[in-house]
Structure 1
Amino acid sequence: MPRGDKSAYTDKQKRKAEHIEKGYENRGVPENEAESRAWATVNKESGGGHKSGSGRGHAETHASAARGGHRAGHGAESHDARAEAARKGWETRRKNAEARR
């Protein structure tokens, strides 16, 4: 089996890679890079192709999927809210430093 052959992957793994690849492409990643990242993610989560029989029955980690939401900041403050909080904190630290002088 040559490198890059996807025959050992299950249909579910192939669908997952396709979905991940589309997500990367929507964010502007080049097509080749998106495909490479997608298959790397599938391999990381499931341990590679599982059609052969060995390795079946092992749980998937979903580590990459869990990290995604944290990186994107889903459910977090907006950029403007974070910027305002940073400005407010800076003003407080500046005032406290002046008071200590």
Structure 2
Amino acid sequence: MRRIFAIIGILLIILIGLAFSVLNADPVAVDIFFAEFQVALSVALVITLIVGAALGALTSIGAVWRRRREISRLRRQLGYAERQLQAMRRVPLGDSD
């Protein structure tokens, strides 16, 4: 059942993409400082979307790496604290006489 929904979803996305492409087929001039191209509006929009997503992913890599380092540091601290706790549990309690 899940597979059928996935296939239907993929087909729906493809149909929406095709409709978008057909409805936005007008050529536009894209000037990138040193060159100018004539491409379909839909192609220009999709390329812009892909470039924006890639730049967003690149900017988040630093934050992800910092979080992973922090998680690693906290796991080491937890391991050290657990070893200390186990050592303290092994120490016999003194006489309360």
TM-score (norm: length of structure 2): 0.29
Which structure has greater strand proportion? 2
Which structure has greater helix proportion? 2
Higher-Rg structure is 2
